[in-house]
Amino acid sequence: MQVSFTKRTLPNGLQVIVHEDHHCPIVGVSVWYHVGSQDERPGRTGFAHLFEHLMFEGSQHQDGSYFQPLQQAGASLNGSTSTDRTNYWEVVPTNALEIALWMESDRMGFLLPALTPRKFENQREVVLNERRQNYENRPYGLAPVALSATLFPPDHPYHWLTIGWPDDLRAATLDEAHAFFAAYYHPANASLTLAGDIDTERAFALVEEYFGELPGAVRPPRQARTVALSSERRFVLEDRVELPRLYIAWHTPPLFGEGDADLDLTGDILGSGKTSRLYGALVFDRRVAVDAMAGQSSRELSSLFTVTTTAAPGHSLSELEQVVSEEIRRFAAEGPELSELERALARAEAAFVFRLQNVGGFGGKADQLNAYNIYRHDPGFFDRDWGRYAQATRESIRAVASRLLRPDQRLVLSVVPRGRNDLAAAGSEPIHFS
């Protein structure tokens, strides 16, 4: 399971990766900046996600929307922000590659001259509205906000979501935005991948032409923060919901850390789909829940393993908690059945292969090459990444679950209809976060 590539670094620090794939006359262009919400500080959150928006609003030599010129050339494009990185991508017809490279280079090198107070204010309001739609006014939308705020201390960069705190966004200034961009959005903190119908030497020549003269800068230092719960914590959040929902979360090893892959497989076995253990126990057998999910959310500094389940009408979250605790206790003691492990590995392998079917876009080959380059400093990490899963055994999974999914190191969050704290898991305290 490997993807051929050539990697070079320009004098200004820009890392460039090229993968040839001539099956279709398209090229995937992917730019990753190693900046996310973990690079913000308390009191000034939301900048990384705000810049995801601002980067589509025009630069000095393309002072207008970035969507229209590329879409008129037949391209698709998008971007996203996480706790750990920001990415932008285009999938363009081969003959439109230079348009994408010119526009990406212009916003990397010349965004700030076009970043006016009007654009800044407009996109700030767009982000605040996005927060209202996706979190504040969506059923259970504040649950991830509460989980982050209670699992991580206020000075930890995962204490807040990528969208930031509303008061911080309102207090942000244009000068602060300029300083944030200058620190993180430059060639030395970026990785550029071209994948598809392009000759390797031609690709490097084009990158040199469009990016070579951009000034370099000092690459920002990366921080390392460990965090753990020393005891169980139990909270209740009232929300405008019909049915109560239970979240149980643990701190787990960071992305690519020891046990990360085992917990990915654990999440699949315990809570992926209707054949999973938790769905069977909660929904089919006991009929106390309407859904059940589990999974490992892998991130650069620290990951989370989370179980989520919604109570059926007439049932409390204490009932659900008892069943979940029993199933995890049994899993930690006995490990998975061989058939469960085989199914989980088959699904994991299928996901690996599926990602390699596209040259660009979210999860395509260009995206994956950049991910390995940013996080592992090796675009060719494919085989070793898959090896983490292929080497997992029933005993290795059992041992990791026993060591990390402990009842005395977890957060239990109940989300209940307003005025119905009686439906929460026993011993839950009202939650306060900001």
pLDDT of residue 225: 77
Closest CA to 29 of 144, 188, 198: 198
Question: What six digits make up the tokens of 351?
Answer: 């996901």
Query: pTM for the full model?
Result: 0.95
Query: What residues form DSSP beta bridges with 400?
Result: none
| CATH superfamily of domain region 233-430 | Metalloenzyme, LuxS/M16 peptidase-like (3.30.830.10)
Consecutive 10-residue averages of pLDDT for the chain (434 residues): 93 98 96 97 95 94 91 96 97 97 98 96 96 95 96 94 96 95 97 98 98 93 83 96 97 97 98 96 97 97 97 96 98 97 97 92 96 97 96 98 97 96 94 75
Residue 37 half-sphere exposure toward CB, CA atoms < 13 A: 25
6-211 — its CATH code? 3.30.830.10
pLDDT of residue 335: 97
Alpha carbon distance 125, 46 (integer Å)? 12
Helix 394-404 and helix 317-334: axis angle, to 10°? 130
pLDDT of residue 434: 60
Helix/strand/coil for 2: coil
Q: Where are the domains of the chain?
A: 6-211, 233-430
Asked if the domains 6-211 and 233-430 are classified in one and the same CATH topology, the answer is yes
Determine contact, residues 21/197, Cβ cutoff 8 Å.
Answer: yes
